[in-house]
Structure 1
Amino acid sequence: MADLKTITDTLIAGDDEALVGHVRAALDEGIPAGTLLSEALIAGMDVVGGRMETGEMFIPEVLMSAMAMGAAVEVLKPLLSEDDNASAGKVVIGTVKGDLHDIGKNLVVMMMESAGFEVTDLGVDVEADTFLDVIREKKPDIVGISALLTTTMPMMRSTVEQISEAGLRGDVKIMVGGAPVDQSFADEIGADAYAADAGSASKLAKAMLA
């Protein structure tokens, strides 16, 4: 019998083939797709995020878990009702103009999607105007802005300022992150939250929208 704990443990271990097998077996046993998604898979990724924060899991292990999650969700998608598939919220995320680093951002995207968020990934080297256009179009709950170079931190500040000047600041929460960024810089530029890593980013996103 494929119980929820086995599915969660297999997800955390990052064994995508075994996970898909357990998910299919659980469906055959009559466990609803929505229950598997929320109580086994998303719950498992919450554990992964927590372990990443504490240093118990490292990026390659987290990526394996996130990819296993993606494979399992593909099995469940056709069976999920609109209620089961309801988004935890909308997130727009990108790395600022002048910065081409995306590994950390991509991991945040995977963790956010695994937590049930609908994510629009703008990629790297993103102009402030692009953030503004997509905020207007997508109406996200959270905007994630990333920078990995100290030289692009001013662009992060400028992007936040331009979101405010465009009159969009009241509509979105702004989360910032990246190697040179810390809580004091986030406070200084008027961001709502600072996330040190992908695990804390998805947890913070949930907390901000709770």
Structure 2
Amino acid sequence: MVDLKVLTQAMSDLDEDVLNKAIDEVLSKDDNAAEAQEVVKACQQGMTLVGERYDSGEYFIGDLVFAGEVLQSVMDKLKPALSAGSSAKGGKIVLATVFGDLHDIGKNIFRSMVEAANFEVIDLGINVPVSQIVDKVKEVNPDIVGLSGVLTLALDSMKETVNALNEAGLRNSVKVIIGGVPVNENVCKSIGADAFSTNAAEGVKICQGWVG
């Protein structure tokens, strides 16, 4: 088993060499699905530390972008192992970072993990208008709508999206999960979502429960 604390620190330090060596070690093993999930969790914890370093002024926007690229590379390499650990058929998810928010690191991590869990993901990208999400739900008839946002103002867009799904008569046919830094149980209830998560692995389990 790789040292998860070392991985978390390496992600925080943006140390690709340490991360790549650990991933190669995991991928060299036959039954590696569970360990691959632990590696992802450790890297997510490292991303939290990256965010704290940014908030304190130690890191800058370029460091955040690079951290996202490093984490996406980790996810891409581990995807076969993560997929091997999930034999269940997934559902269909329409995913978006809501209008007014340009952050996509968390969304992309979640997308990689639900794709590894055999879900079909229609990723609409960032800063997505409410009408575009509603139109896509009408078009593809998904099981789940995933709304992501980091900024507090994103919560208004999430609520507007859920309201629009209601007005279009689509809300009862889909589950809505929201994710991002500002979400919690009270926010989830206020927005009218079915569930929330600030952890991608936990979010995947919620979605699997809905379609299982």
Assess same fold via TM > 0.5: yes
What is residue 89 of structure 1 aligned with on the other side? 91
The Cα RMSD (Å) is: 3.4
Q: Which has the higher contact order (CA 8 A, sep 6+)?
A: 1
Unaligned runs of 5+ in 2: 2-19, 49-66
Distance 1:86 1:206, change over 3 A: closer
TM-score, length-scaled by structure 1: 0.69
Instruction: Spell out, residue by residue over 1:35-76, the C-alpha distance to the aligned partner (whole angstroms, 9 max, x if none).
Output: xxxx754x55544456568x4x65768645421134x48xx9
C-alpha contact (below 8 Å) 1:12/1:65 kept by paired residues: no
Q: 1:200 aligns with which of 188, 202, 205?
A: 202
What is residue 148 of structure 2 aligned with on the other side? 146
Residue 196 of structure 1 and its aligned partner are, at CA, apart by 1.1
Q: 2:76 aligns with which of 45, 48, 67?
A: 67
Separation in structure 1 between the aligned mates of residue 124 and residue 190 of structure 2, nearest angstrom: 24
TM-score, length-scaled by structure 2: 0.68
C-alpha contact (below 8 Å) 1:141/1:173 kept by paired residues: yes
Q: What letter is aligned with 2:178?
A: V
Separation in structure 1 between the aligned mates of residue 21 and residue 195 of structure 2, nearest angstrom: 27
Q: What letter is aligned with 1:113?
A: E
C-alpha contact (below 8 Å) 2:72/2:108 kept by paired residues: no
Residue 209 of structure 1 and its aligned partner are, at CA, apart by 2.1
Residue 152 of structure 1 and its aligned partner are, at CA, apart by 2.3
C-alpha contact (below 8 Å) 1:12/1:48 kept by paired residues: no
C-alpha contact (below 8 Å) 1:49/1:200 kept by paired residues: no
Distance 1:157 1:138, change over 3 A: same
Distance 1:58 1:13, change over 3 A: farther
What is residue 123 of structure 1 aligned with on the other side? 125
Q: What letter is aligned with 1:167?
A: G
Residue 89 of structure 1 and its aligned partner are, at CA, apart by 0.9
Separation in structure 2 between the aligned mates of residue 12 and residue 85 of structure 1, nearest angstrom: 27
The count of aligned residue pairs is: 174
C-alpha contact (below 8 Å) 1:12/1:44 kept by paired residues: no
**Aligned pairs for 1:12-161 within 5 A:** 13-15=22-24, 19=27, 41=33, 43-48=34-39, 55=45, 63-70=72-79, 72=80, 87-161=89-163
Separation in structure 2 between the aligned mates of residue 90 and residue 52 of structure 1, nearest angstrom: 26
Q: What letter is aligned with 1:69?
A: L
Separation in structure 2 between the aligned mates of residue 123 and residue 63 of structure 1, nearest angstrom: 15
Separation in structure 2 between the aligned mates of residue 64 and residue 13 of structure 1, nearest angstrom: 13
